[in-house]
Structures are given as C-alpha cells and as structure tokens.
C-alpha cells in the first residue's frame, strides 16, 4: 500500500509512532516543536536520528541545538552527516514516510511539502537499508559534552547577518505572502461567564459582536497602541473547556484617540459598548460561514506548535526564560500576538475552512449597523 501525503503531516506521524517499537528519523533540520511531539507520543520506543551538525544551521536557527540536546537527554541515538538533504521517517519494519518535509514546525505545518507513506515491505526494507548505511557512516552518538562545546562556540560567534528586508522570491505561493513589518494577533470576544457553544452560528456572532467594522477594548489598560495599519487580526470567541473558535480575519487600522471611541449612537445600538468602547477599526473582514464547531480551534494551534504558537512564549523560550506555557498567555487577556509560525499555521487552517464552508456574504454584513466616522 502506498499513499501520497501533502498535508496533515503530524497526524500521519502520530498514527505511526504510537505503537512503534523502533523509530528512525532522517532530517537535516530539527526544531523543538517536533521533538516535543516525538517525546510526548513515542511510547518508550528505540529512537535513532540522523541530522546535520553544521553549526551555522544552529546559529541561524534553521535547526535547533536545544532540540538535539533534548533528544540526547532522552537517550535517543543522534548522529550527524555532512551534506545531508534526504528526509525519512521509518516505523519498525512496517511503514516508511519518504518526504520533502524536515522535522521542523515549518516542514510539518506550513511549507508546501510532498511525500509518500508506504507499507510495501520491499520499499520499507530498502528505506531501512538506506538509513542504516548513513547511520553507520558516523559510529559516534552525539553526547551532552559535545553539545555544550558547540553551544559555547555559537555564543562566541556573531549572529549570521540577516538583511532588514529579504530579497524577493518571485515564485507564486500557495500560502499568504510574508511581510516582515506586519504583526498578527488573535482578538478574543466574549466573557468567561457567557461562552458560546459549538452550535452557535458565526452570523449570530458577527451580528452580536459588531466585529464587522471594529474590535473593541475596555480601555482599562490604556489605548491599544500595539496595532498598526496593515496588521492582521484573527477573531475568536470563547467556548467551553478553555476552547476558542477562530471565526474571522481582518486588517487593522491604527487607533486614533479622537476617532476610535464608541459614539452615543453606537452605544444606543449596542449597550455593552458603554464598557467596551475603545476601537481598533478594521477593513476587509472575512468570516467563516458556519457554526463555531466548524472553525479552527485554539487547542489545535497550541497542540501543534506548543510555545512556538505565540510571539512572547517563543521569544522567552529562545532566551531561556520561564513562562512559556502558551495557555497562560490567554488568561484574562484581550488578545495575543502570534509568532510567524503561528500566523502561517492559522492562515492555512483558516483558508482551508473558508474553501470548505464559504464566507459570510457581503450583503449580510452590509445590512448590519456600522459606526459612522466623523
């Protein structure tokens, strides 16, 4: 049996590792988010990993030396090969995934990857022979002492120069265009004592929250200065069991102190804006047309990307800080800033859902009350 894989890489990986006695991985680049998924799901299997030891990869963060350290600390066998480019995931002698996807968040969640999964015994055996041939090129397993030497060397070197603006890639992307000047947020709606259920429609949510022209804040923590023109805002509502359904997406307009407050007319239409009357106005809103249960869920974002989902938790992890639990970033907050990886993940999931469920029609949105700008 042979099947083609172009998405849901983590699902395919988890399906195979849950009962595996031996896991073999070849990947030039490895990052922490995938090591976490491996450790959380591997069921005490024997694990062997082939990767690269190019310190430039670690210095540029294309690969993670702390991820390799975690593999070694778990007792996994890690070996390095120069010039490595192949990617292979083999499970016992029964299944192999031969793929373009590195064992990284980008490879598993965001890049445009393609591979095959096979249970054909002849192909699986050939894949294992290929693995063993590379694994035995370097008979020394990586150890913590070597990693510490590398870490010291990397710290003493200057970071690899990165231009403030990347040179263009003229290919056509199936995903969103990257913009290093944009920030990406999830804005929360609702209160802990009035959570929606998964049968609640997105149309009812938009009509009740008036989020088709602005997102709102209480103002107790000051004005929302962190939003700039062109930033992307995803809109989410609280559900039961600490869940959030992400039902909309829009482009931010920078807050203006004189313009962006709820007017008396706004409050007459929406009484709760007496208490949540500070606006970030938005443009080009898109809302999933369906029920909350149809929308991308916060738990899936966090389960897939862990601390790498959000900007602050990711930065804290990079500098060795504490408070990297992504769920803690959501407590009593009006919003959360996504990491670049988190934004890519969510944009892909949001687009998939729009393609499946459709978007709320413009005629419906145009029929709702909209604040006038004077």
Asked if the structure places residue 79 within a domain, the reply is yes
Asked if the structure places residue 52 within a domain, the reply is yes
Q: Are 191 and 139 in the same domain?
A: no
Q: Which domain holds residue 90?
A: 2-156
Asked if the structure places residue 195 within a domain, the reply is yes
Confidence of residue 170 (pLDDT cuts 50, 70, 90): very low
Torsion angle, CA of 57/61/65/66, rounded to 10 degrees?
-170
313-364 residue pLDDT tens: 998 887 777 888 999 888 888 999 999 999 999 999 999 999 999 999 999 9
Asked if the structure places residue 373 within a domain, the reply is no
Q: Which of 16, 150, 152 is nearest to 91 (CA)?
A: 16
Asked if the structure places residue 166 within a domain, the reply is no
Asked if the structure places residue 196 within a domain, the reply is yes
Q: Are 16 and 98 in the same domain?
A: yes
Asked if the structure places residue 361 within a domain, the reply is yes
Polymer length in residues for the chain: 374
For the chain, how long is the longest CA-to-CA vector? 75
Confidence of residue 172 (pLDDT cuts 50, 70, 90): very low
- Identify the pLDDT of residue 157: 77
236-289 residue pLDDT tens: 999 988 899 999 999 999 999 989 999 898 888 888 888 889 999 999 999 999
Q: What is the pTM of this model?
A: 0.77
Q: Are 237 and 148 in the same domain?
A: no
Q: Are 121 and 64 in the same domain?
A: yes
Torsion angle, CA of 31/325/11/128, rounded to 10 degrees?
30
Q: Are 9 and 72 in the same domain?
A: yes
Domain boundary, last residue among 156, 172, 196:
156
Q: Are 139 and 189 in the same domain?
A: no
In total, how many domains does the chain have? 2
For position 21, which CATH number holds? 3.30.870.10
Whole-angstrom Cα distance, residue 39 to residue 204? 41
For residue 157, report the phi and psi dihedrals to the nearest 5 degrees.
Answer: -90, 150
Asked if the structure places residue 30 within a domain, the reply is yes
For position 230, which CATH number holds? 3.10.590.10
**Of the ranges 64-68, 172-176, 276-280, which one carries the lowest mean pLDDT score?**
172-176
Q: Are 214 and 130 in the same domain?
A: no
Whole-angstrom Cα distance, residue 104 to residue 110? 10
């Amino acid at each position: 049996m042979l099947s083609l894989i172009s998405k849901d890489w983590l699902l395919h990986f988890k399906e195979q590792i849950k009962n595996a006695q031996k896991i073999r991985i070849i990947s030039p680049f490895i990052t922490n988010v995938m090591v976490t998924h491996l450790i959380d799901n591997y069921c005490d299997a024997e694990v062997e990993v082939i990767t690269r030891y190019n310190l430039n990869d670690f210095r540029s963060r294309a690969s993670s030396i702390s991820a390799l350290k975690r593999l070694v600390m778990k007792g996994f066998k890690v070996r390095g090969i120069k010039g490595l480019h192949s990617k292979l995931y083999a499970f016992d002698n029964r299944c192999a995934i031969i793929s373009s996807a590195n064992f990284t968040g980008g490879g598993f969640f965001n890049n445009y990857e393609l591979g095959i999964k096979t249970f054909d015994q002849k192909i699986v055996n050939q894949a294992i022979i290929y693995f063993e041939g590379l694994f035995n090129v370097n008979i020394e397993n990586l150890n913590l002492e070597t990693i510490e030497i590398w870490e010291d060397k990397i710290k003493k070197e200057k970071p690899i120069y990165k231009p403030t603006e990347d040179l263009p890639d003229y290919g056509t992307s199936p995903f969103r265009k990257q913009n290093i000047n944009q920030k990406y947020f999830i804005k929360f709606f609702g209160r802990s004592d009035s959570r929606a259920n998964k049968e609640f429609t997105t149309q009812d949510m938009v009509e009740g929250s008036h989020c088709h022209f602005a997102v709102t804040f209480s103002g107790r923590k000051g004005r929302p200065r962190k939003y700039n023109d062109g930033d992307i805002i995803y809109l989410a509502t609280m559900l039961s069991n600490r869940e959030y359904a992400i039902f909309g997406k829009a482009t931010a307009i920078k807050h203006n102190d004189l313009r962006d407050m709820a007017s008396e007319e706004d409050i007459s239409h929406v009484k709760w804006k007496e208490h949540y009357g500070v606006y970030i106005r938005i443009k080009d809103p898109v809302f999933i047309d369906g029920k909350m249960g149809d929308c991308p869920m916060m738990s899936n974002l966090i389960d897939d990307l862990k601390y790498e989902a959000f900007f602050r938790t990711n930065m804290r992890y990079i500098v060795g800080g504490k408070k990297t639990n992504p769920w803690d970033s959501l407590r009593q907050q009006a919003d959360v800033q996504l990491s670049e990886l988190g934004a890519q993940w969510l944009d892909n999931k949001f687009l998939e859902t729009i393609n499946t469920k459709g978007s709320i029609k413009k005629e419906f949105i145009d029929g709702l009350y909209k604040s006038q700008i004077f």
